[in-house]
A and B are shown apart, each in its own frame.
Chain A
Amino acid sequence: AQKVTQAQTEISVVEKEDVTLDCVYETRDTTYYLFWYKQPPSGELVFLIRRNSFDEQNEISGRYSWNFQKSTSSFNFTITASQVVDSAVYFCALSEADFNKFYFGSGTKLNVKP
């Protein structure tokens, strides 16, 4: 069964627009961990955030913010005032309570045009 769904395959925006990347997850565990990673065109994977299931507080880091809603099993990522450097593939991931296995979504490719 698919654990993490990123329904948006590709999104294109113009610089300075706000954009939200959706992530829906599935798990039976009450303790789990959610992550976002960025993969720029150069190919490396860059960690952005980890959120624990017992902490539903939303988080803001500069232009980035994350909205975690257990009621809808979603962990969405918003970039405010997007920039060309935000162009990348973004992956949402889930790790369940045993911390051993990780499940990644299929990724959302974000194109930010000048």
Chain B
Amino acid sequence: EAQVTQNPRYLITVTGKKLTVTCSQNMNHEYMSWYRQDPGLGLRQIYYSMNVEVTDKGDVPEGYKVSRKEKRNFPLILESPSPNQTSLYFCASSPPFSGKGYNEQFFGPGTRLTVL
């Protein structure tokens, strides 16, 4: 089954304790992206990756890191989490530009993170 998986789905942690949220897709997509969803703000893009070893900042990259060593994986790293990073996080992937416009993004199920 074609899908984007995220782990963990739920995480409660404390300020300053490094954590990684994994994201994996089995559709051989080149483009992957991370978003955070907060009430009243919708989804905001954190980082995206056009391909292996190619990453760039979205709108809200502060406090986050990413890496893209393999095509299928795009982990989100919080090296020193703070309470303002408490949020619902989504990973997404999509196939390359098809000439008829950008294809849809497939979203993972979300990771609910609480930083105390």
Contacts and interface: CB of A to CB of B under 8 A. Distances in A.
A28 B102 CA distance: 18
Most buried by B among A45, A50, A106: A45
Interface residues of A, number: 23
A104 B44 contact: yes
Interface residues of B, number: 28
Contact of B105 (A44, A52, A102): A102
B80 to A, nearest CB: 26
Interface of B: 31, 33, 35, 40-45, 48, 50, 56, 58-59, 88, 90, 92, 97, 100-107, 109-110
Contacts of A47: 104-106
A91 B43 contact: yes
Interface in A18-74: 33, 35, 43-45, 47, 50, 52
A44 B109 contact: yes
Interface in A88-114: 91, 93, 95, 99-107
A100 B33 CA distance: 9
